[in-house]
A and B are shown apart, each in its own frame.
Chain A
Amino acid sequence: MYAYVIRRILYAIPILIGVNLLTFALFFVVNTPDDMARIHLGAKHVTAEAIERWKTEHGYDKPLFYNASAEGAARLTDTLFVQKSLRLFAFDFGQADDGRDIGREITTRMWPSLAIALPTFLVGLAVYISFALLLVFFRATYLDVAGVVLCVALMSISGLFYVIGGQYLLGKLWNLVPISGYEPGIDGVKFLILPVLVGVVAGIGDSSRFYRTLFLEEIHKDYVRTARAKGLPERVVLFRHVLGNAMIPILTGVVVVIPRLFLGSLIVESFFGIPGLGSYTIDAIQAQDFAIVRAMVFLGSVLYILGLLLTDLSYTLVDPRVRLE
């Protein structure tokens, strides 16, 4: 198994190089540092000197791949590609346009993100699966039909409406929770309730319907009939047998997102004013701070690949037949 893990990590390298090249091409070749400088300076202040000064200040005053003016190995290393792009592999994210260190921002901002994303993920999973099992329990009755109709209606509503509606009803009209804000520690729990609730409700339609389909596929199999024939109550059949056997497709969709919980949700964090990575990213996009966007793209890819690896490992936990060679 260790050999498998190591091989998977090695496979990740070409993919990360691909991501790296793609973002480099997008941000430096299609769109030159000169364009970047022009946007940041604003239309009024664009002069050749101003552009050069901006590029020097932010370290963009280098050639893309080959630096003819440098000596020795520096000809290849003192370039934008190495300085700005390859450095990401060492998790050296460099500086944002406002001069702050991106790496430090990430390590401080990932905790608020996690404080929202982890409860949303866990509560959501429990709610979606329970709701789907409930629908399956009442399968082929009007309750099931009503539940599916509700799911389709819920998934037809844009996520933005859940956030806005939640803030308006619970925060403004009923004054139950603060509309937005964040505080670390136990005192901050009141700030977490609404974003978590909104996050869970927003996903209910889509996920519950998906899980219901999974469970319905299992429920007609022979082992379920056998379990019932043994006289097991339906509750045990559903929770132990059906849920257990539907675990592989559930894990396939679920485990891969776990590492990405660190990155938080763009929409939820920016609406609720949570100083996490999601709002960091959205601010960077709106301020066109490409250094941060590049760092987040790279980080996101690393976490996704980690998620894929964890998915494979999780299969061995729920299905003893799976062996990783």
Chain B
Amino acid sequence: MNLPFMPVVLWSDALLFLLLGVVLVFVRQVRRHEHLRAPWRQVGRSRLGMASVVVLACYGAIGLLDSLHFRPQLPAEPGQPVQYAAEVSSLFDVLAGPLRGQAEQTYSAPFATRLFVKKSLHLPDGRVTRDYPRLQYGGAHLSSEAERGPDIAVRALWGALSGLGVAAVLWVMAVLWVARRAGLDRARAWSRLWREPAFGGGRSALVTLSVLLVLGGILLHWAGHYHVLGTDKVGQDVLYLALKSIRTGLLIGTLTTLIMLPLALFLGVAAGYFGGRADDVIQYLYTTLNSIPGVLLIAAAVLVAQVYIETNPDLYDTAAARSDLRLVFLCGILGVTSWTGLARLLRGEALKLREQDYIQAARAFGVSRLRILGRHILPNVSHLVLISVVIDFSALVLAEAVLSYVGVGVDPVMASWGNMINGARMELAREPVVWWQLTAAFLFMFTLVLAANLFADGVREAFDPRSGVRA
């Protein structure tokens, strides 16, 4: 077998797909049981909740595409063994082809046709002037710069129309689906989907998706010809950087959970249910960890991990694998330092559940401890776990930016919003101001975190037994 590329599975990719598998198993489990489905149905009916699910799904899709890594084959010379590029690419890189390759010399503003700084230009007659040179790619297809405005507008129109076209197909499919499910004719199904409160969630999901499709269409029509969000100091397209950062943000938010969850579940429930010596030890453990200031503990561990990576170069073969290793270490460290909150919560809950009648009854019947834990305690604390996982996600995405600023975040060469903000700090002090990199990081991060927060609210409302009491 001779593939034109060599698949590369980085550590974080493997963990991400493992996590995806876990989520799929969880979804199957939920679909099978009516009592588990009910709260999710409530989430599905909430309009904000569903809108945020769509946004999160879009981020997730980009993150997953960006996690399928490979090394392309280099042009082979006859007789030589096949060589692969040292640089690791992802499926997303292939899809975003022009964005990735079209690097300018340095800064350029969004939609600019010229560079942001003056350079010495050699005129055809041999003289040298200082002027803003034309960009190599941005607006290069224009025959004169005066066409820029109309060209941008026309492209936006086409993009919006193509986005609307896809959205229209989706709406038709949704109407047909409702019509078939409810046995109605199409006009009735449409008015039902459009008006009835019970369809509020689906409706808002479709509207959000339509908006995203239109935006995506416009971006697609622009991106090949302009730098929509400008370029950074080394001429990289900022839109590409911001999109690449999605994977980093998602990984920090989710892999950390994957590491934190088993620790918190096991230790928290064990402390609460078994009590006695185990409780003392576990409580001591989390009080000790808790007493160290969070950033400092993370910083200390990351510094140590950094030294470890530097002294063990045989752990990685490419630069991508090296920054990936650091990312995985960072997630591990965040996981090990952040299980205490959830563990304390679970301990309290297990302590309460232990005295419940049904648990006492199970014990009286001689059900083994492990079985009680698995069948009775775990399902009854799962809502706490779920709520705290979705709440933690947004906090972790925000934490990445701060940690990168402190210098203990992801690898400085890795695309991440924290690194973008870090790089953009000095740009605001320039005259005139370079504002686009900061704006891009802000927009992408804000959208993700806002969606995650809204989703977390929806989940909490549906799963927290106390939330029904509240006004």
Chain A positions within 8 Å of B307 at CB level: 31, 35-36, 39
Do residues A282 and B406 form an inter-chain contact, with CB atoms below 8 A?
A: yes
Do residues A281 and B296 form an inter-chain contact, with CB atoms below 8 A?
A: yes
Q: Kindly state whether residue A177 has any CB partner on chain B within 8 Å.
A: no
Do residues A158 and B292 form an inter-chain contact, with CB atoms below 8 A?
A: no
Chain A positions within 8 Å of B143 at CB level: none
Q: Kindly state whether residue B398 has any CB partner on chain A within 8 Å.
A: yes
Chain B positions within 8 Å of A301 at CB level: 291-293
Q: How many contacts A-B (CB < 8 Å)? A: 125
Do residues B421 and A164 form an inter-chain contact, with CB atoms below 8 A?
A: yes
Chain B positions within 8 Å of A293 at CB level: 296, 299-300, 303
Do residues A155 and B453 form an inter-chain contact, with CB atoms below 8 A?
A: yes
Do residues B428 and A285 form an inter-chain contact, with CB atoms below 8 A?
A: no
* Interface 0/1 of A153-194, CB less than 8 Å to B: 101111111001001100010000000000000000000000
What distance in Å separates the Cβ of B392 from its nearest Cβ neighbour in chain A? 14
Which chain A residue shows the least CB distance to B288? A18
What are 17 of the A-B contact pairs (CB < 8 Å)?
Answer: A22-B289, A23-B300, A31-B303, A31-B304, A155-B453, A156-B394, A158-B401, A158-B402, A160-B405, A167-B428, A263-B293, A266-B406, A267-B406, A285-B303, A293-B299, A296-B293, A300-B293
Do residues A285 and B421 form an inter-chain contact, with CB atoms below 8 A?
A: no
What distance in Å separates the Cβ of A171 from its nearest Cβ neighbour in chain B? 10
Do residues B296 and A297 form an inter-chain contact, with CB atoms below 8 A?
A: yes
Choose from A14, A26, A266 the contact partner of B300 (Cβ within 8 Å): A26
- Known interface pairs A27-B304, A216-B471. Does A156 touch B453 (Cβ–Cβ under 8 Å)? yes
Complex-state Cα separation, A220 to B303, whole angstroms: 50
Chain A positions within 8 Å of B407 at CB level: 282, 285-286
Complex-state Cα separation, A22 to B287, whole angstroms: 13
Chain A positions within 8 Å of B214 at CB level: none
Complex-state Cα separation, A282 to B398, whole angstroms: 18
Choose from B288, B398, B454 the contact partner of A15 (Cβ within 8 Å): B288
A126-157 CB contacts (< 8 Å) to partner B? 139-140, 152-153, 155-157
Chain B positions within 8 Å of A217 at CB level: 470
The 7 A-B pairs at the shortest CB distance, nearest first, are namely A300-B293, A18-B288, A156-B450, A156-B449, A301-B291, A304-B291, A31-B304
* Interface 0/1 of B270-292, CB less than 8 Å to A: 00000000000000110111111
Q: Kindly state whether residue B297 has any CB partner on chain A within 8 Å.
A: yes
Complex-state Cα separation, A257 to B310, whole angstroms: 36
Do residues B442 and A161 form an inter-chain contact, with CB atoms below 8 A?
A: yes
Choose from A22, A168, A267, A288 the contact partner of B405 (Cβ within 8 Å): A267
Chain A positions within 8 Å of B421 at CB level: 158, 160-161, 164
B436-471 CB contacts (< 8 Å) to partner A? 438, 442, 445-446, 449-450, 453-454, 457, 469-471
What distance in Å separates the Cβ of A219 from its nearest Cβ neighbour in chain B? 8
Do residues A159 and B296 form an inter-chain contact, with CB atoms below 8 A?
A: no
- Known interface pairs A27-B304, A164-B438, A297-B293. Does A18 touch B401 (Cβ–Cβ under 8 Å)? no
Q: Kindly state whether residue B425 has any CB partner on chain A within 8 Å.
A: yes
Do residues A267 and B291 form an inter-chain contact, with CB atoms below 8 A?
A: no
Chain B residues in the interface with A (C-beta under 8 A) = 284-285, 287-293, 295-297, 299-301, 303-304, 307-308, 310-311, 394, 398, 401-402, 405-408, 417, 421, 424-425, 428-429, 438, 442, 445-446, 449-450, 453-454, 457, 469-471
Complex-state Cα separation, A161 to B394, whole angstroms: 16
Q: Kindly state whether residue A260 has any CB partner on chain B within 8 Å.
A: yes
Chain A positions within 8 Å of B406 at CB level: 266-267, 282, 285-286
Do residues A300 and B402 form an inter-chain contact, with CB atoms below 8 A?
A: no
What distance in Å separates the Cβ of A152 from its nearest Cβ neighbour in chain B? 5
Choose from B405, B425, B471 the contact partner of A140 (Cβ within 8 Å): B471
Do residues A266 and B449 form an inter-chain contact, with CB atoms below 8 A?
A: no
Do residues A14 and B284 form an inter-chain contact, with CB atoms below 8 A?
A: yes
Do residues B299 and A285 form an inter-chain contact, with CB atoms below 8 A?
A: yes
Which of A30, A158, A297 has the most chain B CB within a 10 Å cutoff? A158
Chain B positions within 8 Å of A172 at CB level: 428-429
* Interface 0/1 of A25-41, CB less than 8 Å to B: 01100110001101100
Do residues A30 and B308 form an inter-chain contact, with CB atoms below 8 A?
A: yes
Complex-state Cα separation, A266 to B405, whole angstroms: 10
Complex-state Cα separation, A31 to B308, whole angstroms: 7
What distance in Å separates the Cβ of A90 from its nearest Cβ neighbour in chain B? 19
Do residues A168 and B287 form an inter-chain contact, with CB atoms below 8 A?
A: no
Complex-state Cα separation, A220 to B405, whole angstroms: 44
Q: Kindly state whether residue A290 has any CB partner on chain B within 8 Å.
A: yes
- Known interface pairs A30-B308, A31-B304, A156-B449. Does A267 touch B292 (Cβ–Cβ under 8 Å)? no
Which chain A residue shows the least CB distance to B407? A286
What distance in Å separates the Cβ of A143 from its nearest Cβ neighbour in chain B? 15
A46-72 CB contacts (< 8 Å) to partner B? none
Give me 16 other A-B pairs in contact (C-beta within 8 A), A26-B301, A161-B421, A164-B428 excluded: A18-B285, A22-B292, A26-B300, A31-B308, A35-B307, A35-B311, A152-B454, A156-B449, A158-B401, A172-B428, A285-B303, A286-B406, A294-B300, A296-B296, A300-B292, A300-B293
